[in-house]
Chains A and B, each alone.
Chain A
């Protein structure tokens, strides 16, 4: 009973945050709504018994990645969005389209879901189990993912370096 209540609370907070993200016109309000979404997702993970994933969601996603989002918005000094005719058309077409899509996905999930239910906390979510799985069974995907992130960082550094830097290096070298 309490479990269902908490699930509904976190789920509604998540949904409200996501809808607020779309509705708000100032990007900083949207970024803060996304932080609320990340926090409620962490609450949902906690309800599933995945305590380590919940803590890491808060530390990494809500506490580092979203801070960098807020950074970019602060540095770019982005103002409020203005309502153009294009955005009004998008509103008229998009909201019913999104509702139809959401109903379709929900119907598919309910149709295909299994009848087996798992009690909360039945599956292991403690750090020891996750560490064992990550470094024994899933070691290759873990290393490949870290190389993927490294490639993204290198791409960002290459894109952000000042233009003509390699030309002057060629002149000297």
Chain B
């Protein structure tokens, strides 16, 4: 493929990915409001459009027209930069996530992801660890006690649970033998005995413990219930985004939901088999049906996220940190040791 063709194809993929991601962020908010509403025995948004489907549009317009207050006592450069940092790193991770196999259209064949990097998983973890800066700097630059406490708590929590997150993924890496996300998914194709799919939670050694540790650590990484003390309304006014209004607040919001979507995509790729599923039909359908299976898994993971949010109460901060360091980290290390032992004994 020539250079101009490569650049053109990449630009098309980037535009499609950004549009899909931003729409998914908006409609994840809609999904959350509907689901949490139904869990709490009330309707969610129903008035704006059928089933409230145009509610994200109304919210977006509202955010754009809201007055953008900048309190006088803030540290201006970092106050303005912090939501940008949070959003940039949240949106960048989508560049490394493959959503399907290869697609061949009009003589051009390209993998269904923006970049195919040999250490894709490590880069996603690096981007997640850089996203902590948005939260920490927002809390500090707002120059208010609620924001500072919320920012400190959030960054301490995110840094602590990153370790358990990374360790829970090492079991998958041992089974796959590569950091490349596409290769990890390709190793999960086929079925056992004809009907149990060879997903990483079913393979031998089954990564179910790793999946549960990843789930819990991901809830803490993305500051979601039951680990959402940093932004709990009843505890800290609004935590690190207390002093933010209008579009800057919307950027934090979008960053949180984009992080949720990235985490759900990673879980689908690493533990739930990626895009494998029954495919049939002409060539273009065969290329796009795996994307549908991938989207189904991501939707199931987001549904689980929102379901947990509607069900569980939140942890107190010391319980949260004790849980991360004293329970989750040893369980992740034990999973790693047992997986490594079983793989070594098998070969």
| Interface set of A (CB-CB < 8 Å, partner B) | 28, 35, 51-52, 55-56, 58-59, 62-64, 67-68, 70-71, 74-75, 126-127
Residues of A within 8 A of B152 (CB): 71, 74-75
Inter-subunit contact A63/B129 (CB<8 Å): yes
Smallest beta-carbon distance A28→chain B, Å: 7
Q: CA A68 – CA B129 in complex, angstroms?
A: 12
Inter-subunit contact A67/B133 (CB<8 Å): yes
Residues of A within 8 A of B122 (CB): 52, 55-56, 59
Smallest beta-carbon distance A125→chain B, Å: 10
Inter-subunit contact A74/B139 (CB<8 Å): yes
- Return the chain A residue nearest B163 by Cβ: A64
Q: Are A51 and B148 CB-contacts (below 8 A) given A58-B130, A64-B162?
A: no
Known: A64-B162, A126-B118. 7 other contacts (CB 8 A): A28-B140, A59-B126, A59-B129, A63-B126, A63-B132, A70-B140, A74-B136
Residues of B within 8 A of A52 (CB): 119, 122
- Return the chain B residue nearest A68 by Cβ: B159
* Residue from the list A51, A62, A71, A74 in contact with B119, Cβ < 8 A: A51
- Beta-carbon contacts under 8 Å, B28-45 to A: none
Q: Are A28 and B129 CB-contacts (below 8 A) given A59-B122, A71-B152, A74-B139?
A: no
* Residue from the list B78, B159, B179 in contact with A67, Cβ < 8 A: B159
Residues of B within 8 A of A67 (CB): 129, 132-133, 136, 155, 159
Chain A contact residues, majority secondary structure: helix
| Interface set of B (CB-CB < 8 Å, partner A) | 75, 78, 118-119, 122-123, 125-126, 129-130, 132-133, 136-137, 139-140, 148, 151-152, 155-156, 159, 162, 166, 179
Inter-subunit contact B119/A127 (CB<8 Å): yes
Inter-subunit contact A55/B123 (CB<8 Å): yes
Smallest beta-carbon distance A148→chain B, Å: 19
Smallest beta-carbon distance A65→chain B, Å: 10
Between A and B, 9 residue pairs with Cβ closer than 8 Å are A28-B75, A28-B137, A51-B118, A55-B119, A55-B122, A67-B155, A70-B140, A71-B156, A74-B152
Smallest beta-carbon distance B166→chain A, Å: 8
Residues of B within 8 A of A68 (CB): 159
Residue of A28, A62, A63 most packed against chain B (CB within 10 A): A63
Residues of B within 8 A of A58 (CB): 123, 126, 129-130
Q: Are A70 and B133 CB-contacts (below 8 A) given A51-B118, A126-B118, A127-B119?
A: yes
Residues of A within 8 A of B156 (CB): 71
Q: CA A70 – CA B137 in complex, angstroms?
A: 8
In the complex, the 5 A-B pairs of residues with the closest C-beta atoms, listed nearest first: A63-B129, A55-B122, A58-B126, A74-B140, A59-B126
* Residue from the list A59, A62, A74, A127 in contact with B125, Cβ < 8 A: A59
Residue of A35, A56, A70 most packed against chain B (CB within 10 A): A70
- Return the chain A residue nearest B179 by Cβ: A127
Inter-subunit contact B129/A64 (CB<8 Å): yes
Q: CA A103 – CA B37 in complex, angstroms?
A: 67
Q: CA A74 – CA B149 in complex, angstroms?
A: 10
Q: Are A74 and B151 CB-contacts (below 8 A) given A52-B119, A127-B119?
A: yes
Residues of A within 8 A of B78 (CB): 28
Residues of B within 8 A of A127 (CB): 119, 179
Inter-subunit contact B119/A70 (CB<8 Å): no
Smallest beta-carbon distance B169→chain A, Å: 12
Residues of A within 8 A of B133 (CB): 35, 67, 70
* Residue from the list B75, B136, B166, B179 in contact with A71, Cβ < 8 A: B136
Residues of A within 8 A of B129 (CB): 58-59, 62-64, 67
Residues of B within 8 A of A56 (CB): 122
Residues of B within 8 A of A63 (CB): 126, 129-130, 132, 162
Residues of B within 8 A of A74 (CB): 136, 139-140, 148, 151-152
Residue of A67, A68, A75 most packed against chain B (CB within 10 A): A67
Smallest beta-carbon distance A115→chain B, Å: 31
Q: CA A70 – CA B123 in complex, angstroms?
A: 22
Residues of B within 8 A of A64 (CB): 129, 159, 162
Smallest beta-carbon distance B30→chain A, Å: 32
Q: CA A24 – CA B209 in complex, angstroms?
A: 47
Smallest beta-carbon distance B76→chain A, Å: 12
- Return the chain B residue nearest A26 by Cβ: B75
Q: CA A55 – CA B139 in complex, angstroms?
A: 27
Q: CA A59 – CA B124 in complex, angstroms?
A: 9
Smallest beta-carbon distance B277→chain A, Å: 30
Q: CA A126 – CA B180 in complex, angstroms?
A: 12
